[in-house]
C-alpha cells in the first residue's frame, strides 16, 4: 500500500500539553480506515519540520511494535547511532538523546545550562530557540536534537497519556550530572 504524506511543516502547533496531544491524535483520527494487513497496511508520514541539508523530521505510522496511536519519530537524511549495535538509524532514541546531552554537558557545562533551559521550555510546550552556539561539532546538531526531544515528549504523551507521559524522558534528562 502506498504511503500517504501529510505536510504539517507550516503548522503552528498548540503550546500546551493537552491541546498538542489532542491535535496530533485528531490528525491520526482523520486517517481513513485500513483495508488489510502486511503489504495492505495503510502507512502515513507526517512531515513536521524542515531543517537545512534536506533533512525533515517526520512522524511515521504505524509504529513497528505498537498499535493504535503510536508513531515513530524519524529524521530524513540524518543518522542517529543504533544502541550498542554500531548501526545508524534515522530514529532518535531516548537513551541516545540523554547520552548526547551528557556529552554536551561534559564538553561545555556553561553552554549546557543554556541548552537545558531550552529543553525545559520544550517540556512546558513553550517556544524555544534552536540557534545555540558552543556545540557545533559535538554530537547531534542542536536543531535536530531539540525538535527530536519535542516530539519524543509528544510521543510519550500520546502513548502514556494515562501515566507520566513526557515526564519519563524529562526525569532522565534531569538526572544528567
Strands annotated E in 13-138? 43-50, 56-61, 72-76, 80-81, 88-89
Q: Hey, CA dihedral for 137, 145, 167, 159, is it positive or negative? A: negative
Whether the CB-CB separation of 115 and 123 falls below 8 Å is answered with: no
Residue of 65, 67, 30, 22 whose CA lies nearest to 46:
30
Q: How many CB atoms lie within 10 A of CB 27?
A: 17
By three-state DSSP, how is residue 81 classified? strand
Length of the chain in terms of residues written: 177
Per-residue model confidence as pLDDT tens for the chain (177 residues): 678 999 999 999 999 999 999 999 999 999 888 787 877 788 899 999 999 888 999 999 988 766 677 899 999 999 887 665 555 689 999 999 999 999 999 999 999 999 999 999 999 999 998 876 667 788 999 999 999 999 999 999 988 877 788 898 999 999 998
Which residue bears the cell 538509524? 89
Whether the CB-CB separation of 60 and 71 falls below 8 Å is answered with: yes
| Predicted TM-score (pTM) of this structure | 0.91
Residue of 164, 14, 148, 172 whose CA lies nearest to 76:
148
Grid cell at residue 124: 512546558
What pLDDT is stored for residue 85 in this prediction? 58
What are residue 8's DSSP bridge partners?
none
pLDDT in tens, 54-89: 899 999 998 876 667 789 999 999 988 766 555 568
Amino acid at each position: 500500500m502506498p504511503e500517504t504524506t501529510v505536510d504539517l511543516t507550516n503548522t503552528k502547533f498548540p503550546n500546551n500539553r493537552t491541546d498538542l496531544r489532542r491535535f496530533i491524535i485528531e490528525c491520526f483520527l482523520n486517517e481513513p480506515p485500513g483495508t488489510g494487513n502486511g503489504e495492505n497496511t495503510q502507512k502515513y508520514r507526517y512531515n513536521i519540520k524542515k531543517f537545512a541539508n534536506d533533512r525533515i523530521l517526520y512522524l511515521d505510522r504505524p509504529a513497528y511494535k505498537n498499535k493504535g496511536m503510536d508513531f515513530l519519530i524519524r529524521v530524513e537524511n540524518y543518522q542517529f547511532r543504533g544502541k550498542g549495535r554500531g548501526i545508524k538509524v534515522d530514529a532518535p532514541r531516548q537513551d541516545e538523546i540523554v547520552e548526547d546531552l551528557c556529552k554536551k554537558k561534559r564538553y561545555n557545562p556553561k553552554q549546557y545550562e543554556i541548552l537545558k533551559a531550552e529543553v525545559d521550555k520544550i517540556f512546558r510546550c513553550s517556544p524555544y530557540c534552536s540557534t545555540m552556539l558552543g556545540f557545533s561539532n559535538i554530537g547531534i546538531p542542536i536543531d535536530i536534537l531539540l525538535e527530536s526531544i519535542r516530539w519524543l515528549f509528544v510521543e510519550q504523551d500520546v502513548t502514556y497519556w494515562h501515566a507520566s507521559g513526557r515526564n519519563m524522558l524529562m526525569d532522565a534528562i534531569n538526572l544528567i550530572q
